[in-house]
Amino acid sequence: MTTNKEIIEKYMDGFNKSDHDQILSCLTDDVEWILPGVFHLYGKDEYDKEIENPAFEGKPIIQVTRMIEENDVVIAEGTVRAKKKDAAFINLVFCDVFEMRNGLIKKLASYLMPLNNMNSIR
């Protein structure tokens, strides 16, 4: 496994454990995180505030089903299950596009789709 993929695995493991230090150790200081239509964050401080979104509680369950890499770009696909504060669970599929620099995450674009309401797109 490449260094870049190992960093992505460490990053995902950090989210599963809600381990801020582990997650932040995988990022450049000038990291960007984009969730199109929702937010565009810059830097570790903003990133850290979003790790545990106030609308959710507990630890998410993230499972990566596929990871591919070309040059300094790693794409991870998978599923997320998280508990909202209103006691409902949300189930998502994701595709994360990581741009790497010197073995750290420089930029992340996260694309999410809820599984609960898939009939609404038919």
96, part of any domain: yes
The number of distinct structural domains making up the chain is: 1
**Whether the predicted model's global pTM rises above the 0.75 cut:** yes
Q: Which residue has the tokens 């890499």?
A: 69
122, part of any domain: no
DSSP state letters, 42-53 = EHHHHHHHHHT-
48, part of any domain: yes
18, part of any domain: yes
Q: Do the Cβ atoms of 77 and 64 come closer than 8 Å?
A: yes
120, part of any domain: no
Tell me the pLDDT of the chain (122 aa) as tens digits.
899 999 999 999 999 999 999 999 999 999 999 999 999 999 999 999 888 777 788 888 999 999 999 999 999 999 999 888 887 888 999 999 999 999 999 999 999 999 866 554 44
Q: Do the Cβ atoms of 85 and 58 come closer than 8 Å?
A: no
**Residue span of the structural domain in which 11 resides:** 3-113
118, part of any domain: no
Q: Give the rounded distance of the alpha carbon of 91 from its chain centre.
A: 14
